[in-house]
Amino acid sequence: MAEFKALFVYGIFKVIYSPFKAFKEISQNPRYVGPILIMILFIAANAGFVYTIVSKTYVEQTLPTGEQLDRWTENSTFWIKTADLAVDENYKDYINGTYYGNKSINFTRSNSTQISIQLDGTEHIDCAEPEGYKSLYLRIKQVAPEYKPENVTIYLFSTTTSDYFYYNLTQKLSNSTINEWNNVTIPLETGEWLNNGTNANWGDITGLKLEPIWLEDSNITLLVDGLFFGGVFRSPVENMVSYLFNFSLSSSMQFIIRWVLLGGIIYLITKAFKAKTVWRPLLILVGSALVTMFVQAAINVVVFSTLPTIYYPLELIGGVGGESEIAYNRILEETWVVDQVYRYVQMGVLVWTITLCAIASHLLAEFSWTKSFLVATVAYFATLLISSFILPY
């Protein structure tokens, strides 16, 4: 209760509902503790805002991870070569995206009805419910022959090559286009998968093989890229302490820089107009005016708490042109109302802050209201511009 009363004593809350009276009282007894308390409130509200956002955000986890890129389709040594199967890295034809590196794997075989491409072992991958990976993503491009395979089967080995699950991909590729990249998503651990061997275990996947079969002997060229296990979404909330610390630090820097810049620019402008402005009372009044930053952060906590759970899929974070935009637009549709409220709150706080700074200029520099609003407006937008270079976030 004592702390709550102190907020009124230093004019923090009074600035919100009675700014002219509050500024008169503050100018008569200027103390830095008021703006410092506002900064602490702002940091706390921003921390609440970050927690609200992070707790509603779920990002798709993939294997390989984003840091590893699609390493299985970046390095041909991951794939088993045989006497009649050529395996090379293709630097000219690949999926262009932030997760996809700068090459694909090129498989060629001459005069044959089938091609068998096999990943030469992986780490033990958990694809079992409920925590394991739920999807397998694969990009395939058939360069030759110029007609589709009669049958395509994918195998997932478990521990040994004798224990595996297999899935008929023929139907999924029925609408694929020859000589174009086709994006394939295969759900894992479903009834469409059959198993061979008593030890086949979804919790321990150790290898993969893709086997297309054609009706006639042909020269076969097949490109593969973007091989990922995915479908698991996790919230970054487990790193919350790090998020809160970093964001609290940036919030304090944001407040201090805006406070000093805004106060300094108003001071210089009023001095240019021959006003007898005193630095300390002006700086404290400007710091008190920035109570609007705390109010905005507090409103953001309330507004963003109404958001639905937001999922960031591989299509968005993978950065492939077209796919990324579609995924982003889906998220925009889900968050449209909150985004509009956020924009209007920003506009309202901008006008409110300029008004409070105009009151400070009017009181200390004894300017007319027109000149006071002009000074406040120029100073505020100059502050935003300069601070955007100092803290570009």
Query: What pLDDT is recorded for position 4?
Result: 46
**pLDDT (tens digit, 9 = 90+) per residue, 228-287?**
999 999 888 777 777 788 888 888 999 999 999 999 999 999 988 888 878 899 999 999
Helix or strand run (H / E) with residue 230: strand 207-234
**pLDDT (tens digit, 9 = 90+) per residue, 330-367?**
888 888 999 999 999 999 999 999 999 999 998 888 88
**pLDDT (tens digit, 9 = 90+) per residue, 157-166?**
987 778 889 9
Give the C-alpha separation, 13 to 11, whole Å.
6
Q: What is the mean pLDDT of residues 168-195?
A: 88
What the chain holds in terms of domains, given with CATH numbers, is 2-56+236-390 (no CATH), 62-233 (2.60.120.260)
Amino acid type, 181: W
For helices 323-334 and 336-365, the axis angle rounded to 10 degrees is 70
Query: What pLDDT is recorded for position 43?
Result: 93
DSSP 308: P
